[in-house]
Amino acid sequence: MFRILMIIGTGSFLGGVSRFVVSRMVQSSADSAFPFGTLMVNILGCLIIGIVYGVADRGTIITPEMRLFLAVGFCGGFTTFSAFAAENIALLRDGNVLYFALYAGISVFLGVLATWSGNVLIKLI
């Protein structure tokens, strides 16, 4: 059990650091109150988890431990749904109802689409 927790923890650490870097890079290049950095991280994380599950469904290409490392650890640390929720509250609090609606709608729609696309992409390979 300790070994599994270390595998997930390592993935989560790497995912969290990656989330910070990618989100910061994207947001710093956008001159807007719209949270593009978190949006990009969430969509990319959904694509990655779709790919991981697609590869895992193919059988023995990745080990169960690698799946835990990537899906639970890395993607869990990389995606930022709690930040997403907090940013939506901030948008509403600041009166940016249009940005709230766009951000929430685009995140959910593209997140589901990216997860499905990653899974389909692996099945086509």
Spatial CA neighbour of 121 closest among 67, 47, 27, 70: 47
pLDDT value of position 58: 85
pLDDT value of position 48: 93
pLDDT value of position 60: 82
* Averaged pLDDT, 19-47: 94
pLDDT value of position 83: 82
| Domain residue limits at 57 | 2-124
Say what percent of the chain tops pLDDT 90. 85
Q: Specify the number of domains making up the chain.
A: 1
Per residue in 68-125, pLDDT tens?
999 999 999 999 788 898 899 999 999 999 999 999 999 999 999 999 999 999 999 8
Full-model pTM:
0.81
As a whole number, the mean pLDDT across the chain is: 93
pLDDT value of position 100: 97
74, 11 Cβ separation under 8 angstroms: yes
Its sign, for the CA torsion 49, 50, 53, 59, is: negative
